[in-house]
Structure 1
Amino acid sequence: MTQDILIRAEQLYRYYSGHCAVKNVSFDVRRGEILGFLGPNGAGKTTTMQILAGSLAPSSGQVRINDFDLLDKPKQAKQGLGYLPETPPLYRELTVTEYLAFCARLNRIPRNQQAGAIASAINRCGLKKVSKRLIGNLSKGYQQRVGIAQAIIHSPSVIILDEPTVGLDPIQIREIRELIRELAQKHSVILSTHILPEVQAICDRVQIINQGELVLTDTIAGLSQRMEATSILVRFDAPPTTEALMSIKGVTSVEREEDGRFRLRYQPDKQDPVEELVRRTVDKGWHLRELTPERRTLEEIFVAITQTETSQEPVLL
């Protein structure tokens, strides 16, 4: 394993009474990146996160963290791992400082370093003004911050966050996203979520899991290319025939809308029909009134992939 690869999952399977919840999942997480792990509810996200965190054994396959096998050398492997499950493991009757002191001892931080580790986690997670308050009296947003603080208190190289913004209001979501970006400066982050804007907002790379299988792996830049316009809406004062529009180079199909507009579909990796369309409009006197490129949204890509029958190879749209 190279130094840049902090976590490697190879051919993970997990069965529950004959049902395969995770099937042949393999991927790497590199130093300093935020990996978005995306999928619909029940797709296998949480099961995969639990396997990576060492709280659930795979039926087969291997996980290596900092080049330590998670099953053969669990203590060494888990030293480099911080984990926030979907429901934060908090003790509501403790104050924030008391709880983090308990977490410091659980992570075997030397006694003379515990105070510094607690102070650092409190500062980095913006908990200073609530450090003496009972966790049970904190808002959901602050409780999530406490959950993240326990995950980073021992300075792990990899942090796994399972649905960290579920149930938060828009302001709290924004604050947690900013915190995750800050954490990525010193750690690698695996972010499990089904919230699509979250992936675009903070991740460097995205993986989509569906029915237990990885069906897409791409960078955010690559995902943006998939969202490029594949159709345009046009309106004319003197509309041409459908056959005339189909004769424009690059156009693959023409649909007439009820409001009189036309939708022209084309393949973005081939000839863009816009230039010829505008030239033809002037030459033929069609009097173009509207030309609107239509971009595919991340939601449309996500739905297209997750509604496709599971295949052996990742789906490329």
Structure 2
Amino acid sequence: MADVMKQVVQEILQGNKTVISKKVENSTKNPETDSNLKHIKRPNYQRLKKDERLSYTGKSYQTSPNSLRTDDKKSNASKLPKQFNEESISSLHSISLVQGNVPKKNHTHSQERHHQAIKSRIIGNTKNGGCVWFFPKLPKELMGSFHRPLNSASVGVVKMPECLPSYLLIINEVIRNNQGVKFHLSWSKEAGTPFTAELYDDNVDRLGKIMNDIYQKLNRRSFKQYETYTAVSPSPWLSSQMNISSSIDGIAFLEGISYYTNIVLMDLLLKNFETSDFSYEINSNYLLLKGNYHIISKLITELKKEAARLVSSDTMI
């Protein structure tokens, strides 16, 4: 016993925590049981947990915020206030239900094209400030907005900043070739008076084509500073609008030239051509020739040449 105590003291002094004594080695324990105990592993859980914590810390710097584990997301969600989790999500759910229940018109492709075709629209604006509109299928409440309200008619409108005879020629051609088209005009020879034409037709497709054609003609004309026109045997309607005799063989006019420059042109014409088979009329924005169609056709051609010379020399007044 003294020897055992002596050995224990020596081991403690030497810093060896494992105390082994000869007495233990020579104990009467079963050698077989002792050998089995040697194979039992006793892991150090604190050390293992430490290794795991260090390993996780190292990986966390390499992992993006979007790659959090599901458990971590659930943990973060559980940290939110109960009021936010339940009431806010409930509100969002209600909004999504309301949005999902908004009724939408279920049109086929052909139906959408049809609805698009019957919408009122601006066909186009001209360079000189004019505009053309088309109203295919107006409700009855809006038919009274025009000068001649028709219960089932489509309406086309032309509005130009001034009255020119060429606009009358366009309308005259339309009503001559389309007997079912009705109209209302605002026309005056007074300077600065805008030109307005309303066309009415029960045939929506026909009037749509007519209004597109009118716009193309007006838009092309708006790019020219001046232009000449002729008409053989003017119709009674056109003669009435221009206040000329219906017995006249033809008319010709030059548009886009100012009043006093028209006087210059007529002075040149009367001095260079000796003929009495025509008459003329000088207006603020056009010059009108009336008489034998073949004679006035040649004269208006000469006037256009003189107008070009005057424009190129910058003497327009």
Tell me the TM-score normalized by structure 1.
0.19
Choose between structure 1 and 2 for higher RCO, CA contacts under 8 A separated by at least 6 residues: 1
Q: Whose strand fraction is larger, Structure 1's or Structure 2's?
A: 1
